[in-house]
A and B are shown apart, each in its own frame.
Chain A
């Protein structure tokens, strides 16, 4: 959001400004503290957590909880750590994001530059599909995945995420291409470019910003999904979120809080990384998708 700040936005007096700064800092603390505490406690031995202060820095720094969370912690029945599930998530997220983005871009192109009778209805139906509570599709989806024999596999999850990601991807590209001058498409038509040539040569080279937005959006959403993962891929094919939940809620043995935190941070790492690298676009994308829905 690199919007120029308003040079004459109402400004307040000295006391007011102090109050404003204090409030902002307080909230910054509120947002940061949980993550800070998770991080600090993931670096402590278990004894220091149960007996000590959660805000204090570790007296005895250790990365053992991280190693345990990654490769040896008990998830379900196997002491595999989160590692295999992390890769499950990657194997699920990457194809789903790539396929969804490609389909979304083409759909957006058709819906804005090749309008036809009833295109608004088609788009409206796709748009509404973004907002349905997924509980409504769980039962039939389980049946279909069973029939296709991809129940409980990563491939099945990819299919699910593609189907329910198309709506958002289409929405992003449609809003973006709507502002793309139609005269360019007409000029290219007169120049003799066909449907796909116009897309590849004229629109796609200008689609960098929205592609970043769409990829980030899909990536965070699909990575963070729990409902579909829990419903269709428990066991060996479970994604990271499901594995983390199993780790944290496993009722056997001592609760290894430090390992839980390390695992939680591991699960959050890819999306946080994406957010830190391209956060500006992320926010802009959320705006485009929500405010202008």
Chain B
């Protein structure tokens, strides 16, 4: 029934206001996120060099991109970095969370110690680790001074090993955060389930392996999503720690995109690499976010 005429002003205003309030942010997001994504995708098909240019080139940039050795290195580095970073952070995080959950004295003191690196900028983390890992003055030097003359730790200067130093610094920064996620998960487990399992005669080891860790599935998933997204985006840490070097041995897609776009004036190729980064993240995030949103309905 059409009753619009009898709806009073106030009610109609109240129906409109929420949309008016939401509209500016939605417009901003549409333009600055989705509009920009569309623009970058468009640029990735053009002959843009130093400035955006609109000559259509089709898939040329993409085929060029995959023939560039530095991109190859960047992709390989990302694969190594992301998988080690995710696996090690998860293992350390889970272990610390389980250990902290054993009614530990001083938990209140330990927790912030494990977590504080999260509050630091990757630039700060990079500055610190760059120095420890420097064979001339860092750990290697200290070991030598302590009399362990044969100690050698020069990964950061080694083309083949430098990427692993980034893993070390990144794990230092993020593993405490993963610990907090698992700890929250552990504390959220229904006590009665644990009591029931103990009544059933489960040993500690079985309790964790068969009951608790499977119940932490959501925490595992969240940790995986967050860490993989951080790994793909990671830019600051690489810049601060190795600057992508030695040579371009520690280049990752994020540094590749930046240098091709802004310093090498290959904007089309830079855009193409950004699009591939977006697609990789979307492949992980979209199903996750979709499931989360559906669940809440």
Contact = CB atoms under 8 A, between A and B. Distances in A.
Direct contact of A and B (CB under 8 A): yes
Interface of A: 1, 3-12, 17, 20-21, 23-24, 27-28, 30-32, 34-35, 37-38, 49-50, 52-55, 103, 106-107, 110-111, 114, 116, 120, 122-129, 131-141, 143-144, 162-164, 166-167, 170, 178, 194-196, 220, 223-224, 226-227, 230-231, 241, 244-245, 248-249, 257, 260-261, 263-265, 267-268, 271-272, 274-276, 279, 282-283, 286-287, 290-293
A263 B128 CA distance: 11
Given A31-B172, A133-B233, 11 more contacts: A9-B102, A34-B172, A132-B33, A136-B36, A195-B21, A196-B17, A224-B123, A261-B131, A267-B121, A287-B180, A287-B184
Given A28-B114, A283-B180, A50 B137 contact: yes
Given A137-B37, A291-B185, A30 B115 contact: no
Contacts of A261: 127-128, 131
Contact of B293 (A120, A139, A287): A120
Task: In the A-B complex, list the 7 residue pairs whose CB atoms are closest, starting with the nearest.
Answer: A114-B18, A224-B121, A275-B119, A226-B236, A3-B187, A137-B36, A140-B36
A110 B22 contact: yes
A280 to B, nearest CB: 9
B222 A291 contact: yes
B65 interface: no
9 contacts: A6-B103, A52-B145, A53-B145, A135-B278, A136-B275, A163-B32, A166-B29, A224-B123, A267-B121
Interface size class of B (residues with CB under 8 A): 35 or more
A149 to B, nearest CB: 17
A172 to B, nearest CB: 14
Contacts, number: 309
B194 interface: yes
B113 A32 contact: yes
Interface in B94-121: 95-96, 99-104, 107, 110-121
Given A10-B207, A24-B104, A264-B128, A291 B181 contact: yes
Given A1-B183, A23-B95, A139 B25 contact: no
B119 A163 contact: no
Interface in B260-296: 261-262, 267, 270-271, 273-275, 277-278, 281-282, 285-286, 288-290, 292-293, 296
A275 B167 CA distance: 24
Nearest to A284: B184
A268 B120 contact: yes
Give the one of A21, A111, A135 with max B CB within 10 A: A135
A54 B132 contact: yes
Interface in B32-62: 32-37, 39-40, 43, 52
